[in-house]
Structure 1
């Protein structure tokens, strides 16, 4: 009779989960034994980096991905990175080893006494099989729940279960499939179409979920067909619309009153593929301008339920985009003027490069289809001013704001999208949280360009100190960091550049594997 391990491996293979990101402990070894040759195991040196790589890989491929963690301690190490994966709605399937069943109640070393509650409330589903015979079904549920909810799941498995021989009922799991459909009905489509068609001055607010679902080009087509101004929803972790397009108005600020001010004058706000809204700094005020109607279309039922205002339709945004474009006539003036705006001259600074100079160099030297993984929060304003991103899947940011996403996610992104160049733009403060991703990049020859912006500060914190009226707090300075020897120690070629021309020359140099470029930059604020 087949073992639970054999059935699990075959199930994962049939589901396409053959790339495993992991950092194993002793409890995980029985699952990894006899791994078929079709599987690829990607080792990370810290569990937070492992989850960050898997998050990038899942966002790149759009498919669930398997993560193998150690029991309580290893799973705990991964939880910071998991917050980003939850907010980006990445379908990660987290598996963790558990002590043998007879030792859990004794609280033996490496036992996870209450394993199913450890990752809650972060994960969408958490479980531990009731017996060895339940392992295949439980694993299948973890995979299906991750795909259906588009949220990480967690499964703890006692390691003596893997070698248990199971009867024919366990193998029935191998033939299962689960699909999801949220197609709006005719009445719902007509209501949204009528609202937009009769609005006096409507505006679109687009969210990261559109890019996740492959709807970037359809969103552009709708905006151009109706000649509608476009905002991107606050705190985007992906970009759903070209940021130099003539209809692009910017990223909405992440405060209640500033959002309301930005939307003033519009009688209808149509939000597609985004929560309403992901605020950050607390700036109270009215949620919406007086007389403004808001309609949200999202396939995230939780986001619809928790919104404080407006009407919501829980549905796949794709048929809504298509219905609006085909049922409403084109608005006059839709083809007037240049489609994309000219790029501005970058700002300069004394003694170091201004971040705008760095981003202008990236824009001028990198391929148009480059994927940028960005984790430099203090340079947001400079980024959006200088970059020219016109393709789907061009921008990725830590969705929950948790540091340590950027470097690992870039490695996972490059593994998931081998035909597109990947550049990680990382602040020197952020880099330390995921630095061991360099080792994985070197060992697996992952072609990522890491650009480290070194200004010796936690720039976003210094800015927030001004916002909160606390400019004198400690812990915002980080002098003395040099990432060149650190990268070389992990096996990644690295160099420091000081001038704009030197930076351009380095960026133009081809590299078959990973490389790191350290750039000294002036301190700036997110706004």
Structure 2
């Protein structure tokens, strides 16, 4: 007869969840006891960094990934990172240890009181099994729930005395189960949408992260080319779903109601694919759509479909729907949209580098299939204007806007994509939220490159203070941080750049090597 411990590891092995990201506490030790040799445990030094690394790994690999946290306090430390994973539809199975069952009721130290409530609403499903024999079924359900439909994180709390208990008969049926979702719309629905797009005088397409996540970028390109349709990326897009060098590409939409409506002026049909409609940020009242425009959204998420304030929505699998639509539409008899004008080269000037100059150097030197992980929030628009991102899975950003994503996510993405170079572009304010991930990069020899845009201030907050007419706000500056010393303390090689020449030399050294490197770049505020 198998123990719960043995049965659960059989399920994890058969389902392919053999890489864990974790930071264990005492409640988790019985789960990790006799850790199998065919599994891999990636240690992070803070739970926020752990979930950030797992988030990046799961997004880049496309596979459901297991996270191992410590009870209530560890889960609490990870909640900011969990918000990003929830908003990016990242399939994570987050497990957390619980006190022994006999001690939960008296709220002993390290008991997770109301364990299933704690991570909500940032998970698709949350469970603490009623008895030990229910743990394997709950784990199986967690894996399938995380990885199907609109993917996302789930949470499983397990009392640590459950692992040694005997599993119930029939538990072996769980390991090999498969759960799939058939999400292709009917042929008539595809045909109807194709005809609407063909008959529109000035259609426009807006793409979101789920297009890139489902490896459907090429289908989006085919549709845009057939219909000679301009393409925008959705506001605050956490992934890039269209080549930024393509003539149809217009750029990144702003995150205000009135601004979006203004840019869509003149379009009679707006097709939104794989994105919320819309993820606004600053309050900018206005009409949701310009006069005469109709909106149709294709989304994998029923919540995104139902909460949209306008338009029709189709809940379906993104990749298969775009593939079918790319075959169904006919080529339009219209000129291709005018390509956006790329900005000219930024001049070399004395003193701290302009962010534009940093991105020009990066674009010139990085491999064409480089993966960029962005958390320099005040320079995001400049990145989209100046970096050529043409390959599937070339860009990642914190989907919920929670700081602490990029540095650990770059580690996880590099682990998932060893054949490509991962470059994190991170503000000096943001970097402090996930700095512990540098130790993981060094310890496991993960060759991500971390570029710290050091301007001594929270640039995005300074911009937003202007939007809100908030003057004299304290706490917006972060001077005096020595990121080179921090990196070396964690075991990562560090280089300082304060000119175009020194940044070029530092990047060349980092790209020529095969180990993690941090480059601290003095930039203008």
Q: Residues of 1 paired with 2:220 and 2:347: CA distance? A: 31
Distance apart, 1:262 and its partner CA: 0.7
| Correspondences of 1:408-447 after superposition (within 5 Å) | 408-447=408-447
Secondary structure of the 1:63 match is coil
- Give the equivalent residue in structure 1 for 2:524: 522
Q: Residues of 1 paired with 2:275 and 2:210: CA distance? A: 6
Q: Residues of 2 paired with 1:395 and 1:522: CA distance? A: 24
| Correspondences of 1:86-485 after superposition (within 5 Å) | 86-148=86-148, 149-332=150-333, 344-346=344-346, 351-485=351-485
Q: Does 1:28 align with 2:5?
A: no
Q: Residues of 2 paired with 1:518 and 1:264: CA distance? A: 42
RMSD: 1.5
Q: Residues of 1 paired with 2:68 and 2:327: CA distance? A: 46
Secondary structure of the 1:372 match is strand
Distance apart, 1:311 and its partner CA: 0.5
- Give the equivalent residue in structure 1 for 2:51: 51
Q: 1:349 to 1:147 in 2, by over 3 A?
A: same
Deviates more, 1:488-497 or 1:385-394: 385-394
Q: Residues of 2 paired with 1:319 and 1:137: CA distance? A: 30
Q: Residues of 2 paired with 1:97 and 1:384: CA distance? A: 42
Q: Residues of 1 paired with 2:274 and 2:113: CA distance? A: 39
Could you state the TM-score of these two structures normalised by the residue count of structure 2? 0.97
Q: Residues of 1 paired with 2:227 and 2:20: CA distance? A: 44
Conservation of the 8 A alpha-carbon contact between 1:371 and 1:420:
yes
- Give the equivalent residue in structure 2 for 1:494: 494
Q: Residues of 2 paired with 1:76 and 1:212: CA distance? A: 27
TM-superposition CA deviations, 1:33-64 (whole Å, max 9, x none): 11211100000000000000000000011110
Distance apart, 1:324 and its partner CA: 3.1
Conservation of the 8 A alpha-carbon contact between 2:353 and 2:499:
yes
Conservation of the 8 A alpha-carbon contact between 2:447 and 2:514:
yes
Runs of 4+, deviation exceeding 3 Å: 332-337, 339-343, 347-350
Conservation of the 8 A alpha-carbon contact between 2:116 and 2:127:
yes
Secondary structure of the 1:478 match is coil
Q: Residues of 2 paired with 1:129 and 1:244: CA distance? A: 50
Conservation of the 8 A alpha-carbon contact between 1:206 and 1:273:
yes
TM-superposition CA deviations, 1:151-199 (whole Å, max 9, x none): 1000000000000012322222123211112110122112211211111
Distance apart, 1:385 and its partner CA: 2.1
Tell me how many residue pairs correspond in the alignment. 522
Gapped regions of structure 1 (runs ≥ 5): none
Conservation of the 8 A alpha-carbon contact between 2:350 and 2:499:
no
Distance apart, 1:222 and its partner CA: 1.5
Q: Residues of 1 paired with 2:323 and 2:176: CA distance? A: 34
Distance apart, 1:341 and its partner CA: 6.6
Distance apart, 1:347 and its partner CA: 5.2
Deviates more, 1:177-186 or 1:47-56: 177-186
Distance apart, 1:329 and its partner CA: 2.3
Distance apart, 1:321 and its partner CA: 2.2
Conservation of the 8 A alpha-carbon contact between 1:344 and 1:385:
no
Distance apart, 1:336 and its partner CA: 9.6
Q: Residues of 2 paired with 1:343 and 1:365: CA distance? A: 18
Distance apart, 1:313 and its partner CA: 0.7
Secondary structure of the 2:211 match is helix
Secondary structure of the 1:115 match is coil
Q: Residues of 1 paired with 2:296 and 2:2: CA distance? A: 52
Q: 1:326 to 1:170 in 2, by over 3 A?
A: closer
TM-superposition CA deviations, 1:229-261 (whole Å, max 9, x none): 111111100001112321111111101111110
Q: Residues of 2 paired with 1:252 and 1:157: CA distance? A: 43
Conservation of the 8 A alpha-carbon contact between 1:462 and 1:471:
no
Q: Residues of 1 paired with 2:372 and 2:151: CA distance? A: 23
Secondary structure of the 1:174 match is coil
Secondary structure of the 2:147 match is helix
Distance apart, 1:300 and its partner CA: 1.0
Q: Residues of 1 paired with 2:397 and 2:348: CA distance? A: 25
TM-superposition CA deviations, 1:430-486 (whole Å, max 9, x none): 000000000000000000111001000000000100000003100101110110011
Conservation of the 8 A alpha-carbon contact between 2:375 and 2:406:
yes
Distance apart, 1:90 and its partner CA: 0.1
TM-superposition CA deviations, 1:401-458 (whole Å, max 9, x none): 0000010000000001111110011000000000000000000000011100100000
Q: Residues of 2 paired with 1:152 and 1:325: CA distance? A: 31
Distance apart, 1:335 and its partner CA: 7.3
Conservation of the 8 A alpha-carbon contact between 2:215 and 2:319:
no
Q: Residues of 2 paired with 1:448 and 1:336: CA distance? A: 37
Conservation of the 8 A alpha-carbon contact between 1:65 and 1:92:
yes
Q: Residues of 1 paired with 2:4 and 2:29: CA distance? A: 14
Q: Residues of 2 paired with 1:292 and 1:333: CA distance? A: 19
Conservation of the 8 A alpha-carbon contact between 1:9 and 1:35:
no
TM-superposition CA deviations, 1:356-381 (whole Å, max 9, x none): 11111111111000001010011122
